[in-house]
Structure 1
Amino acid sequence: MANNANELSGIVQEAIAEALGLDTEEVVPDATLLGDLDAESIDLLDILFRIERTSGVKIKMADLTEIIQGGIPDEEFATEDDVITATGLAQLKQVLPQIDTDALAGKLVADEVLTLFTVQNLTDLVAERASVAAAAA
């Protein structure tokens, strides 16, 4: 199992590049997966599978949603109109530190949250999972 941060970063970068048919140089840390790199949901599954196969770190799509929402109940995370609440934005800022919560306040809808997810966010998640697995071993 990979545990070195640079090694994990390379694994994530390569998995994304291979899944999306990109050069690894195009897969920069601040690129958003669904926006900048044009990934679709099915591509995310492929990326997660490639990361698991190479690193031994298993992450499911449901894990992404769980991490993003941080255990906050749906009704507290977003309004009935699916607009992310102040509570939801505060949680998002913790897991996606690059976002501008002021610019997104009252505008961000739940379906768009994953579009903010970057290569670095995924790398951090993989590194966190790898360290938890290593600690448990």
Structure 2
Amino acid sequence: MTTTATALLPAVQEAIADALGIDEAEVLPEATLLGDLGAESIDLLDILFRIERVSGVKVTVADIGDLLQGGIPDEEFGDENEVVNDTGLSHLERVLPQFDRAQLAEPLTADGVLGLFTVQNLLDLLTSRTAASAA
């Protein structure tokens, strides 16, 4: 972890724990926000607002979506049934270090992509935004 990430981790953990009403000890870097920690879409907005308030750096749900889809048009990211195709899966493997398509038990749908997003991914995004705003 970079110095910035190490410094930001407690603030991120606190923001997530407070927004979800859980203990900070549950907010591990590898935990997925929607799956493991039980966040819903509205909770994600609350988490991002809390993080902005303590860090001064704004990260939006659209930023997360941009990271996850990488500017790849919908029709190139998945098929007509919204199942993520090889192009989309390859992109996810590049931007989410923990993602391994070989571990998928069933096809990944567009709705399921956000469920892959972890505390560490949020921390990485925040760290890159912090570095960019400092430059």
What TM-score do you get using the length of structure 1 for normalisation? 0.92
- With over 3 angstroms needed to count, the CA separation of the structure-2 counterparts of 1:21 and 1:106, relative to structure 1, is closer
Deviation for aligned residue 1:22: 1.1
Deviation for aligned residue 1:105: 8.6
CA distance, structure 2, for counterparts of residue 22 and residue 104 of structure 1: 28
Deviation for aligned residue 1:96: 1.1
CA distance, structure 2, for counterparts of residue 95 and residue 15 of structure 1: 23
* Superposed CA RMSD: 1.4
Gaps of 5+ in 2: none
1:19 aligns with 2:23: no
Q: Secondary structure at the match of 1:59?
A: coil
**1:39-58 equivalent positions in 2, closer than 5 A:** 39-58=39-58
CA distance, structure 1, for counterparts of residue 103 and residue 6 of structure 2: 32
- With over 3 angstroms needed to count, the CA separation of the structure-2 counterparts of 1:74 and 1:106, relative to structure 1, is farther
Give the aligned length: 133
| Residues 104-129 of structure 1 deviation map (CA, whole Å, 9 limit, x = unaligned) | 39700000101111111100110011
Q: Secondary structure at the match of 1:52?
A: helix
Alignment-mate amino acid for residue 92 of structure 1: L
**1:1-137 equivalent positions in 2, closer than 5 A:** 4-104=4-104, 107-135=107-135
Are 1:14 and 1:24, in contact at CA under 8 Å, matched by a contact in 2?
A: yes
Higher mean Cα deviation, 101-110 or 74-83?
101-110
| Residues 11-39 of structure 1 deviation map (CA, whole Å, 9 limit, x = unaligned) | 11111011001111110011110001000
- With over 3 angstroms needed to count, the CA separation of the structure-2 counterparts of 1:40 and 1:94, relative to structure 1, is same
Deviation for aligned residue 1:99: 1.3
CA distance, structure 2, for counterparts of residue 102 and residue 55 of structure 1: 36
CA distance, structure 2, for counterparts of residue 69 and residue 105 of structure 1: 21
Deviation for aligned residue 1:89: 0.5
Identical-pair percentage: 62
